[in-house]
Amino acid sequence: MKAAGPVKTTCPYCGVGCGVIATPQQDGSVAIEGDPEHPANYGRLCSKGSALGETLSLEDRLLYPEIAGDRVSWDHALGCVAEKFSVAIRDHGPNSVAFYVSGQILTEDYYVANKLMKGFVGSANIDTNSRLCMASSVAGHRKAFGTDTVPGCYEDLEQADLVVLVGSNLAWCHPVIYQRIAAAKEARRHMKVVLIDPRRTMTAKLANHHLAIKPDGDAALFCGLLDHLSETGKLDGDYINTHSTGFEAALEAARALTRQDVLDQTGLADTELETFFDLFANTEKVVTVYSQGVNQSACGTDKVSAIINCHLATGRIGKPGMGPFSITGQPNAMGGREVGGLANMLAAHMNIEDAGHRALVQDFWGSPTIAEKQGLKAVDLFDAVGDGRIKALWIMATNPVDSLPDADRVEEAIKACPFVVVSDVAQDTDTIRHADVKLPALAWGEKDGTVTNSERRISRQRAFLNGPGETRADWWHLAEVAKRMGFTEGFDYRDGAAIFREFAALSKYRNDDTRDFDIGALSAIDRQTYDGLEPFQWPRPEGRPAVETRFFANGKFYTPDRKSRFVTVEPSSREVVNDDYPFVLNTGRIRDQWHTMTRTAKTARLSAHLAEPFCEIHPSDALRLGLRDADLVRVSNGQGAIAVRALVTDSQKPGHLFVPMHWTDQYASEARVDILVEPKTDPFSGQPASKNVAVQVERFAPAQHGFIVSRERPVFGTQAYWALARCGSGWRAEFALSDLTDDVTALGQQLVDGTGGFEPEVYSDRKRGEMRAAWFDGEELVAALFLSPEPVAVSRSLLSDLLGMPHRDAKDRARVIAGRADRAIPDKGAIVCSCFNVGVNEISAIAAGGFCTVETIGEKLNAGTNCGSCRSEIRAILDRHYPIAAE
Ligand code: SF4
C-alpha cells in the first residue's frame, strides 16, 4: 500500500471526470468517496464511481511481461518490441507500423505515444478508441471554430433555461451531469429539458418533452430549426456579421429542406417540431448537449455542424447558460485530443495539414522527422492491419476485438498481423489473447498523471497503491522502446511531471494567442507542484492571471480571419433497413458497466443491475415474432449473429432494437454486438456509425434453459448460450443447451469443478420437465442448478443472496431448491439500487402502500440516497403505480 491517508484523484470511467477521494484502509481495502471540492462533481459519484474500491483486486491482472505466453524480463520484452518495429520501418517504411491507443491512458502516456509515432517514426498511424466516441464532435468543432474547443463548462448546464439533450442518455452514461441538471431543474422550476433520442431512455424521466426522432434525423431537425430561427426573427445579426462567415449558404441549404422533408427525416409530428422550435427560439439561455447518439453516425459531423450553426446564428455561445456542449464518453478523450492522439491532429491542438505547425512541432521536439499527412483512422487502420500493410501494431489499454465495427474481421486482422504488442492491465481480454508481446501496465490507483474532462478541466489522477508485480506506466513502456529504437534524446523522462512540463511548454511555443490550447503557465512546474496540482480549466497561458473561462462569446475564433464558419449541411434520409434485415439496431451503454467490463464486471454490486446481455424490443414486434419477455433471441445480419435475452419494452419504437456494447467473450457466449456493426464511417471524422445498423431478430429456442449460482466460476464450453456475472460471494450464470439432458448432477459437475466431492440434493418434476440440484459443503451452498424447457423461473437476487448464507436445516436447503422467496427471506426482485442492494419488488411494495415520491423511497429503503444513479429508475417504477403523479 503506497498511501497512508486520503488521496485526491479522478474517476477513470466517463468524461464527466469526477473527483474521487481514495483512502486505503488497514485491511487492504480502499474507501471511496466523491471529492466535495472537485468542480466536476462537488462530492457526487455515480454507481460505477462509488464501486471503484471493489475493482482493485489483482485477480485477472497481467503482472509480468510475456512473449508468446512465456514470462520474460522487461529488457527482453522491450528489446523485442523495439527490434520488430525498427525492422518493419527499415524494410517497409514508417507507415508499416501503427499504434492504437485509448481514452483510458493518461495525457502523459498519450503525449509520449504521439511524439514517438509522429516525430520519430515519422508516421501519423496513431489512432485511438476515442475515434469511436467523439471524433465527429472534433471534426465539427474544427470546421466551425478552426480548433477543437468545447466552448462552455458544466455550470452552463445548471444556468440554462433550456437544456436540449441530443442522442445523450445522461442518466446512465454521465450520471453526475444528469444529477446536476436534475438538481438545477428542481431549484429553478422554469428550467426545461428536451430529450431528442429514438429511445425513451431513463433520461426521459427528466425531460419535459421527448422527441423520439428517427435515427440520424438530427441534422434535418437542426436545419429546420435554423430556418425557423430565421423566419421568426430570432437571429443575432450583429454576431453573425461580426464573428462569422458562411451564414447565407448555410441558411440557404437549411431552407432547401421543406417542412415535409424535416418531418420525413425526423419521423416527428408537426406539433412536436413546433413545440421544440418555439422553445429554442424563445429561450435565450440554451445549452445543447450531445454525445454518442450524435457522434456515432455516418453523418455525425453534419449533425454537430447543424447544432453549432443554430448557436452561432443566435449568438448563444460562450456566455453563461448558453452554447453547444459535446460531452465525451471516456475519462481522457479530451486529453488525447489535446496531445494530438488522433491520426489527423498534431500535438497541442496543431494541424497536421499546416506546414508551419509541423515545422514548429518538429523544431520543439528536435525530432528527426515529422509526419506530413494524416495517418489511418481506426477503421481504416484495422483494414490496413487486415490487408498486410501494417507489419507491427501496438495496442494500449483498449479492446478493439470487441469495440470496433465488424469486430470479427478486426479479430482476424489482429490474428494475421505479423507482430502485435498489447499493453494492458488485464491478463485475459478478447484482444490480448492474440498478442505476441504482452506488457503489464499500471491500473487506476497505481498510475499517476493528468486527465481532461468534457469541460476542459485538467485534473490529476494520483497513485495510492504500488504497482503490483512488474507493472509499469504506459509512458515508460513507450519511452523505453523509443530509446531502444535509437531515440535516446527525446525520451529520457524522469517522471510524468517532466512529460507534463514539456507538453505545457509546447502549448505555449510560438503561440502568441494563435492557438486555443495554451497551458504555458505550467511549463516550469516542479514535481511537488505537479503532485499538488488542483483541477483547472485550460487555457492557462503564461503571464496572465488564471481565470476560468468560456470561449467565443466575443468572437475570436482560431481560423485565419478569426471568424467562425457556418457549415452548409444538406441532410438526406438515412434508412438502412431492407427486406432481409428489417430492424434498426442501436448500440450503447448501460448504467453499471463500463466499456468491455474489464473492471466493472469484477464487482457483484454493479453486475446485479443488469447481469446478462439483452435486446430491447417493442411489444408489437415481439408479438409478431412470437417472442415473450426473457426468451432468447438471435440478432443477425450479413456480418454475423449474436444471442442475447429479449427484453420486451415500449421504450423502443416498433422496428427498433437496442443491445448494449459491453459484453465480450469473457462474460458471454455470443454477445459481442460490434460484430454486427458495419464498418461504415462519417466522411469527415472517420467515426463509425454504431447506432443505425440493419439486422434481423428471431426467437432462438434451445432444448433446455438453465440457471446456476455457484461459489466458483462455472466453466462453459459447447453450451448453446451462456452469460456469466459475479454475484454475492460467487457467480451466477444463465445458459441454454442444444440437447436435452436429464442428468442434472453430471451437468453440475461438468460446469463447476467444486461440486464433485458433494452429494447433491435433487428435485425433478418430469411432467413439467424441470430439474434442480443443489450441492452443500456443510452449511455452505456450493452451487445450485436449475433446468427448464422455458426460461428458468427462479429469483436470481434471492439465489445470489443465498449463496453467501448458512443453510443449517432442511428448510433452508428446500428454499434453495425452490429458488423462491418466503416470509423469512423475501424476494427483492431485480436490483435497482446497487449501493444499498434494493430490488424492484421492495420499491414496488413501498409504492403500493401509497408512497409516490423518490424521496419517500429513499427514506424507507435508502435506495437512491447515495450515488443517485438509480433515481430515474425508481421514478419509472413509481410511475407505473401512479401515472398521474408522474405528470
Ligand atoms: Fe465516474 Fe460516474 Fe463521475 Fe462518470 S459520472 S466520472 S463514471 S463517478
- pLDDT tens across 84-136, in order? 999 999 999 999 999 999 999 999 999 999 999 999 999 999 999 999 999 99
Of 724, 727, 745, whose CA–CA distance to 796 is shortest? 727
**How remote is the CA of residue 425 from the centroid of ligand 1, in Å?**
20
Q: pLDDT band for position 886 (50/70/90)? A: very low
Nearest residue (CA) to ligand 1, atom 5: 176
176 lines ligand 1 (CB under 6 A): yes
Number of H helices, E strands in the chain: 30, 36
46 lines ligand 1 (CB under 6 A): yes
3-state secondary structure 795-837: CHHHHHHHHCCCCCCHHHHHHHHHCCCCCCCCCCCCEEECCCC
**How remote is the CA of residue 101 from the centroid of ligand 1, in Å?**
21
Q: For a ligand 1 pocket test, name from 20, 33, 45 the mutation site with the most ligand atoms within 8 angstroms of its C-beta.
A: 45
Question: Which numbered atom of ligand 1 lies nearest the CA of 331?
Answer: 6
Place of cell 511555443: 509
**How remote is the CA of residue 702 from the centroid of ligand 1, in Å?**
39
Give the per-residue pLDDT at 767. Answer: 87
- Residue 327 scores a pLDDT above 90: yes
Mean pLDDT of 260-276: 98
**How remote is the CA of residue 852 from the centroid of ligand 1, in Å?**
28
- Which residue blocks in 70-213 are alpha helix, DSSP H? 74-92, 107-114, 131-145, 154-159, 170-173, 175-187
Nearest residue (CA) to ligand 1, atom 2: 46
Q: Residue 98: which residues within 8 A CB-CB, separation 6 or more?
A: 123, 125, 126, 127, 375, 376, 381, 384, 385, 390, 392, 393, 394
Counting residues of the chain whose pLDDT is more than 70, the rounded percentage is: 99
173 lines ligand 1 (CB under 6 A): no
DSSP state string for 74-103: HHHHHHHHHHHHHHHHHHH-GGGEEEEE-T
Mean pLDDT of 557-573: 96
**How remote is the CA of residue 646 from the centroid of ligand 1, in Å?**
28
Question: Which numbered atom of ligand 1 lies nearest the CA of 176?
Answer: 5
Place of cell 439533450: 165
594 lines ligand 1 (CB under 6 A): no
Residue 536 backbone dihedrals phi, psi, to 5 degrees:
-145, 155
Question: Which numbered atom of ligand 1 lies nearest the CA of 869?
Answer: 2
Q: Whole-number mean pLDDT of the chain? A: 94
Q: pLDDT band for position 1 (50/70/90)? A: low
Mean pLDDT of 40-47: 96
**Helix or strand or coil: residue 744?**
helix
Name the strand (E) or helix (H) holding 541: none
- Residue 884 scores a pLDDT above 50: no
868 lines ligand 1 (CB under 6 A): no
Q: For a ligand 1 pocket test, name from 16, 55, 834 the mutation site with the most ligand atoms within 8 angstroms of its C-beta.
A: 16
Mean pLDDT of 327-338: 90
Nearest residue (CA) to ligand 1, atom 3: 18
51 lines ligand 1 (CB under 6 A): no
Q: Are 48 and 20 in contact (CB under 8 A)?
A: no
Q: Angle at the Cα of 343 (from 340 to 347), degrees rounded to 5? A: 15
CA distance 99 to 85: 11
**Helix or strand or coil: residue 493?**
coil
CA distance 846 to 868: 18
pTM of the model: 0.94
**How remote is the CA of residue 590 from the centroid of ligand 1, in Å?**
13
Q: pLDDT band for position 882 (50/70/90)? A: low
In what order do the strands lie in the sheet containing 536-537? Answer: 449-452, 457-461, 536-537
175 lines ligand 1 (CB under 6 A): yes
44 lines ligand 1 (CB under 6 A): no
CA distance 812 to 779: 9
484 lines ligand 1 (CB under 6 A): no
633 lines ligand 1 (CB under 6 A): no
Mean pLDDT of 479-497: 96
Q: pLDDT band for position 624 (50/70/90)? A: very high
Tens digit of each residue's pLDDT (9 = 90 or more) over 499-511: 999 999 999 999 9
CA distance 304 to 323: 12
Give the per-residue pLDDT at 885. Answer: 40
CA distance 266 to 125: 37
Q: All 3 cell numbers of residue 875?
A: 421514478
**How remote is the CA of residue 55 from the centroid of ligand 1, in Å?**
14
CA distance 128 to 664: 20
Give the per-residue pLDDT at 845. Answer: 84
Counting residues of the chain whose pLDDT is more than 90, the rounded percentage is: 85
14 lines ligand 1 (CB under 6 A): yes
451 lines ligand 1 (CB under 6 A): no
- Residue 421 scores a pLDDT above 70: yes
774 lines ligand 1 (CB under 6 A): no
**How remote is the CA of residue 534 from the centroid of ligand 1, in Å?**
18
In eight-state DSSP terms, residue 308 is H
**How remote is the CA of residue 464 from the centroid of ligand 1, in Å?**
19
**How remote is the CA of residue 780 from the centroid of ligand 1, in Å?**
37
Tens digit of each residue's pLDDT (9 = 90 or more) over 639-648: 999 999 999 9
Q: Are 734 and 707 in contact (CB under 8 A)?
A: yes
**How remote is the CA of residue 276 from the centroid of ligand 1, in Å?**
30
**How remote is the CA of residue 307 from the centroid of ligand 1, in Å?**
26
Tens digit of each residue's pLDDT (9 = 90 or more) over 667-703: 999 999 999 999 999 999 999 999 999 999 999 999 9
**How remote is the CA of residue 740 from the centroid of ligand 1, in Å?**
45
- Residue 228 scores a pLDDT above 90: yes
Mean pLDDT of 46-53: 95
Tens digit of each residue's pLDDT (9 = 90 or more) over 520-538: 999 999 999 999 999 999 9
Q: Are 772 and 817 in contact (CB under 8 A)?
A: yes
829 lines ligand 1 (CB under 6 A): no
138 lines ligand 1 (CB under 6 A): no
Q: Angle at the Cα of 757 (from 752 to 763), degrees rounded to 5? A: 70
Residue 733 backbone dihedrals phi, psi, to 5 degrees:
-150, 140
